[in-house]
Amino acid sequence: MHSALLSRVRAWPLFCQGAVPVAFSTKELLVDTHLSIPEGIANDVRRIIAETLRLPVEHVSLDARLDEARLGIDSLGLIKLNVALEEAFDITLPDFTTPEQPHIRSVGDVAALVAGKVSAQANGGAR
């Protein structure tokens, strides 16, 4: 567990500096998966992020970036957010701080990912 946490923390500066290339935007993610984010899921994701970061939900828009400059989230905050979303939606999410997930840069990206996982689970897919 310690090494997993350490690798997440080490990846954070690259993530914040934008050194990890953005594979695709939320719009492209939505087009590629033919997925629209249900309003209920988008609102729940925004609320969970706001609660995790102790911010008013009005400050958490779908276009808000997850980096420190916009929402003030650090690597530990991302880990807490990951866990909170997994528990709230009963799904398994990828680690947001790794280079393998460079497309998860905004609240909208997270909401699209959650919506896709929830949809897949409802259709008999993996959690």
**Cα(82)–Cα(79) distance, rounded to whole angstroms?**
5
Looking at residue 53, which CATH number applies to its domain?
1.10.1200.10
Question: Is 43 inside any structural domain?
Answer: yes
Q: How many domains, the chain?
A: 1
Q: Are 57 and 44 in contact (CB under 8 A)?
A: no
- Residue 20 scores a pLDDT above 80: no
**Which pLDDT belongs to residue 78?**
87
Question: Is 127 inside any structural domain?
Answer: no
List, for residues 78-101, the tens digit of each pLDDT value: 899 999 999 999 999 888 766 566
**Which pLDDT belongs to residue 105?**
83
Question: Is 14 inside any structural domain?
Answer: yes
Question: Is 112 inside any structural domain?
Answer: yes
- Residue 1 scores a pLDDT above 70: no
Question: Is 100 inside any structural domain?
Answer: yes
